[in-house]
């Protein structure tokens, strides 16, 4: 059963620490999205990739966030240094390049920055 | 730009109907609807494409008014399982950037 896998599921860290979240998209999917979910803002788009190339990361605070796809099976979202306002659930989703199809979301990574 | 959803929340009794609206200030290429249960990931419901093609769910329908840049999701004869937060996502062109609204919390009571 193909699914998007995210790690870690839960992360508690102290302010100022580096946080790395990982995502394994569904095999064969060419688009990968990172979303951040909070009660106030809902699902915010942070970045997305097509064929591993970053197409848009305008939703990310550039000074502390970075997103990469080192290969087709791994996408990473890094926060350095982390701040309490970064506390949220971070979702990765993947989709197929052809057509206007659905996105498949991972279970999410819940981040708490103290 | 984030689409605007209304209402923010709605409470129904089982068997009642509901309509959730989604509007954008930009021209839309497609509208996507997802449902998220508490503590779970969003799950795809439906896509509405420019030109009228619709793909998706058997028991939930939707409309897409391209000229008004609006979409509505219709839930008829609601079931307890319909409870959750509904998100509309919009694409403004043939690129793959999908931007979601803040969601509509739907609660269906017995």
Candidates A21, A40, A38, A39; CA nearest to A92 is A21
* Domains identified in chain B, total number: 1
Assign domain A16-99 to its CATH architecture: Sandwich (2.60)
**For the CA atoms of chain A, what is the radius of gyration?**
13
> pLDDT for A72-91, tens place per residue?
999 999 999 999 999 999 99
C-beta atoms of A100 and B95 within 8 A? no
Determine how many CB atoms are found less than 10 A away from the CB of residue B87: 24
Parent domain of B93? 4-109
C-beta atoms of A33 and B98 within 8 A? yes
C-beta atoms of B103 and A35 within 8 A? no
Higher pLDDT, B47 or B106: B106
C-beta atoms of A45 and B97 within 8 A? yes
Interface test with A, best of B5, B42, B54 (most A CBs within 10 A): B42
Domain boundaries, chain A: 16-99
Cα–Cα distance between B45 and B66 in angstroms, integer? 19
Query: How would you label B48-62 residue by residue, b for 16+ Cβ within 10 Å and e otherwise?
Result: bbeeeeeeeeeebeb
pLDDT band with cut points at 50, 70 and 90 for residue B10? very high
**At residue B86, does pLDDT exceed 90?**
yes
Determine how many CB atoms are found less than 10 A away from the CB of residue A39: 8
Query: Chain A: nearest CA to B49, how far in angstroms?
Result: 8
Mean of pLDDT values over B60-74: 90
pLDDT band with cut points at 50, 70 and 90 for residue B59? confident
Interface test with B, best of A31, A92, A101, A102 (most B CBs within 10 A): A102
Mean of pLDDT values over A93-106: 82
Task: Specify the pLDDT at position A95.
Answer: 92
């Amino acid at each position: 059963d193909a699914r998007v896998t995210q790690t870690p599921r839960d992360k508690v860290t102290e302010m100022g620490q580096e946080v790395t979240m990982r995502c394994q998209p569904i095999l064969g999917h060419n688009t990968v999205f990172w979303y951040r979910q909070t009660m106030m803002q809902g699902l915010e788009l942070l970045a997305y990739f097509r064929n591993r190339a970053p197409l848009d990361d305008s939703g990310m605070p550039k000074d502390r966030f970075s997103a990469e796809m080192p290969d087709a099976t791994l996408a990473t979202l890094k926060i350095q240094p982390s701040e309490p306002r970064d506390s949220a659930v971070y979702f990765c989703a993947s989709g197929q390049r052809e057509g206007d199809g659905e996105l498949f979301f991972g279970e999410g990574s819940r981040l708490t920055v103290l | 730009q984030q689409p605007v959803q209304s209402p923010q929340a709605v409470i129904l009794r089982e068997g009642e109907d509901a309509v959730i609206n989604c509007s954008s200030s930009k021209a839309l290429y497609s509208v996507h609807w997802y449902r998220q249960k508490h503590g779970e990931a969003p799950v795809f419901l439906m896509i509405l494409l420019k030109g009228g093609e619709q793909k998706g769910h058997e028991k939930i329908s939707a409309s897409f008014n391209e000229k008004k840049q609006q979409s509505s999701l219709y839930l008829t004869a609601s079931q307890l399982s319909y409870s959750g937060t509904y998100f509309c996502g919009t694409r403004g062109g043939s690129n793959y950037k999908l931007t979601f609204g803040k969601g509509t919390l739907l609660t269906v009571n017995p």
